[in-house]
Amino acid sequence: MIPKVALIGAGRMGAIHGRNAAANPSLDLVYLVESRPEAAAGLAAELGCRTATFAEVLVDPGLAGVIIASPTSAHLDMVLAALRVGKAVFCEKPLDLELDRLRAAEAELKAVDPPLYVAFNRRFDPHFQALKAKLASGAIGSLETLHLISHDPAPPPPSFIPTSGGLFRDFTIHDFDMAGWLVDETPADVFAWAECLVDPAIAEAGDVDTARVILRYASGRICVISNTRRSGYGYDQRVEAYGSRGAAMAGNPHISTLETWTEAGALAAPIFASFPARYAQSYRAELDHFADILAGSAAPLTGYEASLRALVLADAAGRSVKSGAPVALETT
Amino acid sequence: MIPKVALIGAGRMGAIHGRNAAANPSLDLVYLVESRPEAAAGLAAELGCRTATFAEVLVDPGLAGVIIASPTSAHLDMVLAALRVGKAVFCEKPLDLELDRLRAAEAELKAVDPPLYVAFNRRFDPHFQALKAKLASGAIGSLETLHLISHDPAPPPPSFIPTSGGLFRDFTIHDFDMAGWLVDETPADVFAWAECLVDPAIAEAGDVDTARVILRYASGRICVISNTRRSGYGYDQRVEAYGSRGAAMAGNPHISTLETWTEAGALAAPIFASFPARYAQSYRAELDHFADILAGSAAPLTGYEASLRALVLADAAGRSVKSGAPVALETT
Amino acid sequence: MIPKVALIGAGRMGAIHGRNAAANPSLDLVYLVESRPEAAAGLAAELGCRTATFAEVLVDPGLAGVIIASPTSAHLDMVLAALRVGKAVFCEKPLDLELDRLRAAEAELKAVDPPLYVAFNRRFDPHFQALKAKLASGAIGSLETLHLISHDPAPPPPSFIPTSGGLFRDFTIHDFDMAGWLVDETPADVFAWAECLVDPAIAEAGDVDTARVILRYASGRICVISNTRRSGYGYDQRVEAYGSRGAAMAGNPHISTLETWTEAGALAAPIFASFPARYAQSYRAELDHFADILAGSAAPLTGYEASLRALVLADAAGRSVKSGAPVALETT
Amino acid sequence: MIPKVALIGAGRMGAIHGRNAAANPSLDLVYLVESRPEAAAGLAAELGCRTATFAEVLVDPGLAGVIIASPTSAHLDMVLAALRVGKAVFCEKPLDLELDRLRAAEAELKAVDPPLYVAFNRRFDPHFQALKAKLASGAIGSLETLHLISHDPAPPPPSFIPTSGGLFRDFTIHDFDMAGWLVDETPADVFAWAECLVDPAIAEAGDVDTARVILRYASGRICVISNTRRSGYGYDQRVEAYGSRGAAMAGNPHISTLETWTEAGALAAPIFASFPARYAQSYRAELDHFADILAGSAAPLTGYEASLRALVLADAAGRSVKSGAPVALETT
């Protein structure tokens, strides 16, 4: 019996998860919940599922899980509502933008059953998985320093900024999770410098668009995170891990292997222009993971704990920018 | 109304096309035809379709098309049978191993309706498509010489050889089609040297496993084809196109972008080990193409003509190896 | 008339500069000054020059210039002595380890005649020069962030550490100069985290071996410097420059272009193992520059000012590590 | 006592060898022989040597060797004259364009003393040497096929063609020698197709500018040589060696490691534009080899035998083009 699931949200991420759910032979996508009628109808038709309200979805006893891709501000309430009626949850990151709200719901969010998966998709990227496996193999010795590069091709519309949570909570949050995944240790201190170099409208909206964040660990390890909202050359997503006996580098896949050799040099094809193409495999793999969770054969790779850890770092980075000094993290 | 299709054959290529057809939202896979009961049942269950005989399939008036992935020796008869009852046909390459048989059926095979698509999948590979687009853009001037590299990772079982048609008709056939696709001209002469270096059992079966074929065109263009049945490093599929103002190279995608830097050097991840992974995108794209053909929005990119052209070259290459001299091609 | 020069010091850098001077058709190397008799005799024989004392060299009226490659602690006194008798000076970096000493001699060191060149060789590296030219061309728009990677293959002997000046003055000094060369602006703040991860003997000697330094500029630009005393994979020297319309990356040359493709992947040849090979071209080019200075056709690219700027940054980075907070730089 | 040598010829190759000889500490360049007075005076001044006639050079009892870089038509007579008076000879390739003339002088040219080195410089290229060492290491198993790519950036002036000996004797001659060096076996058959695609003036002068040559060996090995007189993208010099367990590829060094990433893709710096830059290291290494020969510590790597072997192949390739069929080589 293939488990029935509902998709909440027909926005950009909703469409991605919806298409992957519809094509996944281990999931049966039956509902789409979306308040904008036109968006709902169009996507539901494409996905071959019904439209419904969130309330209707919650009371369907045959429904096994929900995929929440609503606006960020609605994530936490919807997650809790679904968990309370026993539905497994796939929630687009971030779970919430406020530490206090997360912590207040800790007991429910940490409960094993029903399970909660929070979609830190980069952990499912095959390039980064290959790097993690290489670290585990001991091929480069003991990990000492890490460099995470995450550069957006172009800034979001300024209207997005005020509700985004800001660069660290919206964007760097992925890098904070990657650091948590790749380094077997909790950071002791965070330092960040952040600027607005890309678009003055971002500064007017109270945010930054360019940052360097450094994490320091008790062992002496150091992790540098490099962020910009506009690269000019595509969606640049790399990890460089330096160990005691070598280094492992996960670079950018290119849109093709074509090279054009002329007097100007050898031009390689561009890297992917944005996340839907760059991370297509990881988004599909996340749905496979959710199917495994629903089948009881896997526990969520990331849930409340990972969300909290990443948000704590985002929060600390923001305080470092304000104070101009490193921020020590509580060790618990 | 999504067109209904049947899959003929549950072998290696049958499984690939079947999975892609089942996942394709523009195709409705309803039948699997396979004479081995166990293979049939297993794949049909996976694909969510019924098993049937070829005869049953042909008489279903609701069926729009068939995907033929039976053994090569059965291709032509099945294609003709399907065309005669008005079914659109997707046929795995080669259409047939004998020029005489192909030509004898020319009238039916060339007919536009029902359409016949012969699966030269490499034309749907995004890397080679990027190269073809680059040639068309004029970026490297006029095409002068071409180098097609097609190296298998490991030889097929010797038992496959006797019915394979031999290296040129089974393997190089793809390269002959690629030359036909990339060079806007019919070759004038063919020369080939072929050897058995990989496995003496292949020679005992009357075949070769290593070859270099050269095509010469009336314009003076030259195309070199490099083939081996065993590379030792993966499935090597490249195209190098040299023009009057530069060169375009389509290389091998790697299984990941991981590089490991140690004292030994910088180790890039391996290339794909075999065709199902290397050409996964092209196999999916072929099914999209077949869906477009069924929808009437596309004419088959390759059918009788391409099959004939490629087989003529395979035939000529074989005669060149036997005679030890170039073979001139009839110009028609 | 080819200008006569003397080499001071037959150590590792002395031998490099000596061989380049001897092979340079625009320089006539006549003296070697070295207090260890055996080292002196051996290198002088190889270079085809006489041994002499520093005092003898200074009083030779036919001598145009001196190449100072003595121990760091002797640099400044020798430089001043040579300048005072009118000799042009090529001084291995650093000019001195103490800001006070440098500033006390400012008037003499800044004088245009006789000229003083301080050997920040990386500015002469063709890869970094190509990057600088690319920045100047506007191809990547306006420079926004910079990443300088400078990883030693293996740590120096612990006995070297106490007189080295420490990581920032001995090693990062090159990166501080590179930042000064590539960014058209003086840093406003410096932040550094530094650790001892490579060899406890380095910590015992009071130094660190792994560091990340960040420079922030008034314009909002940010420069990250990545240092380690032991990479495990060779001498890693890269520059990544990110601009408003793209990025420019100067990578590591490899010892050859050889790639070995096996089932394990594609192994590129190692990068160079240490600075004499990696920077061979830059060391030769420095001597060409000194020949041009002697010929009056060039002014020193780097002298007192560059030395001071780099040392100010090294000093500030050290203070940041001690205080655990960013250090603001005086703007002059 | 550093051996005294004379340079014959102040043309393009003469200047290269002359500069390398002058800078080589193990050679004492004392004479330049050049019939064009201006060219002679200019280069002699630069190299710091005297001008002389060939006759004067031959009778100097203190002279150990000659470096012959005169026009090809003069090579053989000068080589013989020098050998007859006991001078060691460095002769720019080819030794001669005619097999009969070579064979007629076999006894003198094969004599060990005085030694004759013929300058097949590619054997001294570090990239190709790394490839040869990799083959010898067994890392790719037994060598099966070889692909030599040798593409000139731009054609020579048409006036050069009539005295050049034609594409195979002037240009492919290097590839024929490379095949001889890399494959431990003498080719059994040669096949070639050659065209004039680059410049009709080359055809008018009776030559071709684009060719593919195949060598077949008794063991079944196959070597493809790819030549053009005009690449449009630089001086392309590569070797691809395919073995039973993998492949080894020696690619093109680029003029720098710079990559520029923009929306158009990642542009690597161009490869070298022509042979003086691409093969600079090999030309220097050849002179080191000649110094070793003069010192008695090395026997010439290539002399009469290598010259004969390469010319036999060039001759056979030319006959293959004329006859349109493979040419069998005498096995001796």
Average pLDDT over residues A305-331: 96
**Which residues are CB-contacts of D283 (< 8 A; sequence separation ≥ 6)?**
D16, D17, D20, D121, D124, D276
- List chains adjacent to chain B, taking adjacency as at least 3 C-beta pairs closer than 8 Å: A, C, D
Helix-strand-coil percent breakdown of chain B, rounded to 5? 40, 25, 35
Rounded to the nearest integer, the mean pLDDT of chain C is: 97
Query: For chain A, what percent of residues have pLDDT higher than 70?
Result: 99
At CA A73, angle to CA A68 and CA A74, rounded to 5?
40
pLDDT of residue D330: 82
- State the Cα–Cα distance between residues B206 and B287, nearest whole angstrom: 35
Tokens linked to D69 = 């870089």
Q: Which residue of B has its CA nearest to C154?
A: B263
Residue B94 pLDDT more than 80? yes
- Residue C144: helix, strand or coil by DSSP? strand
- State the Cα–Cα distance between residues C246 and C271, nearest whole angstrom: 26
Q: For D229-326, where are the E strands, in sequence order?
A: 236-243, 247-250, 258-262, 265-268
> Whose structure tokens read 């008709």?
B169
Q: Does C269 touch chain B (CB under 8 A)?
A: yes
- Give the model confidence (pLDDT) of C189-247 as tens digits: 999 999 999 999 999 999 999 999 999 999 999 999 999 999 999 999 999 999 999 99
Asked if D321 and D148 count as a contact pair (C-beta separation under 8 A), the reply is no
- Residues of chain C in contact with residue B269, where contact means CB-CB under 8 angstroms, are 265
- Output the furthest CA–CA distance in chain C (Å, rounded): 66
Asked if C270's CB is within 8 angstroms of B266's CB, the reply is: yes
Helix-strand-coil percent breakdown of chain C, rounded to 5? 40, 25, 35
CA distance C161 to chain A (A): 20
Average pLDDT over residues D155-164: 92
- Residue C193: helix, strand or coil by DSSP? strand
Average pLDDT over residues D36-53: 95
What are the two backbone dihedrals, phi and then psi, of residue B193, each rounded to the nearest 5 degrees? Answer: -120, 135
Q: Does D257 touch chain A (CB under 8 A)?
A: no
ipTM of the complex: 0.96
Asked if D245's CB is within 8 angstroms of C260's CB, the reply is: no
- Give the model confidence (pLDDT) of A208-249 as tens digits: 999 999 999 999 999 999 999 999 999 999 999 999 999 999
pLDDT of residue A25: 87
pLDDT of residue B31: 98
Rounded alpha-carbon distances, angstroms, from residue C2 to C8, C112, C115, C288: 19, 22, 18, 13
**Where is B227: in which H helix or E strand?**
strand B222-228
- State the Cα–Cα distance between residues B29 and C180, nearest whole angstrom: 65
Comparing CB atoms, the residue among D147, D193, D243 nearest residue B232 is D243
pTM equals: 0.96
Q: Does D147 touch chain B (CB under 8 A)?
A: yes
Residue D331 pLDDT more than 80? no
- Residue C286: helix, strand or coil by DSSP? helix
- State the Cα–Cα distance between residues A257 and B272, nearest whole angstrom: 13
Average pLDDT over residues C61-70: 98
- Residues of chain D in contact with residue C130, where contact means CB-CB under 8 angstroms, are 255-256, 258, 269
Average pLDDT over residues B243-257: 98
For chain D, count helices (H), then strands (E).
14, 15
Among B244, B257, C128, B125, smallest CA distance to A261 is for B244
Q: Which of D256, D262, D272, D274 is most worth mutating to test chain A (most A CB atoms within 10 A of its CB)?
A: D262
Q: Is C68 left (phi over 0), alpha (psi -120 to 50) or beta?
A: beta
Asked if C29 and C7 count as a contact pair (C-beta separation under 8 A), the reply is yes
- State the Cα–Cα distance between residues A161 and B177, nearest whole angstrom: 52
- Give the model confidence (pLDDT) of B7-63 as tens digits: 999 999 999 999 999 989 899 999 999 999 999 999 999 999 999 999 999 999 999
Looking at D138-207, list the stretches that DSSP marks H as alpha helix, in order from N- to C-terminal side: 161-164, 167-170, 172-182, 200-204
Rounded to the nearest integer, the mean pLDDT of chain A is: 97
Tokens linked to A238 = 């790399």
What are the two backbone dihedrals, phi and then psi, of residue C246, each rounded to the nearest 5 degrees? Answer: 160, -170
Q: Does D324 touch chain B (CB under 8 A)?
A: yes
Rounded alpha-carbon distances, angstroms, from residue C181 to A276, C292, D258: 39, 20, 17
Q: Does A254 touch chain D (CB under 8 A)?
A: yes
Among B251, B249, B246, smallest CA distance to B144 is for B246
Q: Does D301 touch chain B (CB under 8 A)?
A: no
**Which residues are CB-contacts of C146 (< 8 A; sequence separation ≥ 6)?**
C179, C182, C183, C221, C222, C223, C224, C239, C240, C241, C242
Sequence length of chain D is: 332
Interface contacts B/D by beta carbons within 8 Å? 97
- Give the model confidence (pLDDT) of C125-139 as tens digits: 999 999 999 999 999
Q: Does D41 touch chain C (CB under 8 A)?
A: no
- State the Cα–Cα distance between residues B295 and B282, nearest whole angstrom: 20
Interface contacts A/B by beta carbons within 8 Å? 90
- State the Cα–Cα distance between residues D315 and D301, nearest whole angstrom: 23
- State the Cα–Cα distance between residues D13 and A103, nearest whole angstrom: 77
Rounded alpha-carbon distances, angstroms, from residue D323 to B5, B9, C209, D317, D326: 54, 49, 70, 10, 8
Asked if A69 and A9 count as a contact pair (C-beta separation under 8 A), the reply is yes
- Give the model confidence (pLDDT) of B172-227 as tens digits: 999 999 999 999 999 999 999 999 999 999 999 999 999 999 999 999 999 999 99
**Where is D308: in which H helix or E strand?**
helix D304-323
- Residues of chain D in contact with residue A265, where contact means CB-CB under 8 angstroms, are 254, 267-270
Q: Give A1's pLDDT tier (boundaries 50, 70, 90).
A: confident
Sequence length of chain B is: 332
- State the Cα–Cα distance between residues D214 and D227, nearest whole angstrom: 11
Average pLDDT over residues C43-50: 95
Q: Which of residues 217-246 of B touch C (CB under 8 A)?
A: 232-234, 236
Q: Does A284 touch chain B (CB under 8 A)?
A: no
pLDDT of residue A331: 67
List of domains in chain C: 4-119 (3.40.50.720), 123-281+310-328 (3.30.360.10)
Residue A332 pLDDT more than 70? no
Among A146, A220, A179, smallest CA distance to A313 is for A179
Comparing CB atoms, the residue among B198, B222, B247 nearest residue D231 is B247
Residue C25 pLDDT more than 90? no
Q: Supply the Cα-derived Rg of chain A in whole angstroms.
A: 20
Query: For chain C, what percent of residues have pLDDT higher than 70?
Result: 99
Among B130, B318, B317, B322, smallest CA distance to B223 is for B317
Q: Which residue of C has its CA nearest to B231?
A: C262
Provide the 10 A C-beta neighbour count for residue D235. Answer: 21
Q: Which residue of A has its CA nearest to C139?
A: A232
Residue C293, judged by CB atoms within 10 A of its CB (0-12, 13-18, 19+), counts as buried
Pairing between β-strand B28-33 and β-strand B4-8 as defined by DSSP bridges: parallel
Asked if B257 and A127 count as a contact pair (C-beta separation under 8 A), the reply is yes
3-state helix/strand/coil string of chain A: CCCEEEEECCCHHHHHHHHHHHHCCCCEEEEEECCCHHHHHHHHHHHCCEECCHHHHHHCCCEEEEEECCCHHHHHHHHHHHHHCCCEEEEECCCCCCHHHHHHCHHHHHCCCCCEEEECHHHHCHHHHHHHHHHHHCCCCCEEEEEEEEECCCCCCHHHHHHHCCHHHHCHHHHHHHHHHHCCCCEEEEEEEEECCCCHHHHHCCCCCEEEEEEEECCCCEEEEEEECCCCCCCEEEEEEEECCCEEEECCCECCCEEEEECCEEEECCECCCHHHHCHHHHHHHHHHHHHHHCCCCCCCCCHHHHHHHHHHHHHHHHHHHHCCCEECCCC
Buried b (16+ CB within 10 A) or exposed e, C250-289: bbbbbbbbbbbbbeebbbbbbbbeebeebbeebbbbbbbb
Q: Count Cα neighbours of D39 within 13 Å in the Cβ-side half-sphere.
A: 15
Average pLDDT over residues A130-157: 97
At CA A232, angle to CA A231 and CA A235, rounded to 5?
55
Average pLDDT over residues A301-308: 97
Tokens linked to C72 = 């760091």
3-state helix/strand/coil string of B249-309: EECCCECCCEEEEECCEEEECCECCCHHHHCHHHHHHHHHHHHHHHCCCCCCCCCHHHHHH
Residue D10 pLDDT more than 90? yes
Rounded alpha-carbon distances, angstroms, from residue B69 to B8, B17, D182: 5, 8, 44
**Where is C7: in which H helix or E strand?**
strand C4-8
- Give the model confidence (pLDDT) of A16-60 as tens digits: 999 999 989 899 999 999 999 999 999 999 999 999 999 999 999
- State the Cα–Cα distance between residues C235 and C149, nearest whole angstrom: 10
pLDDT of residue A185: 96
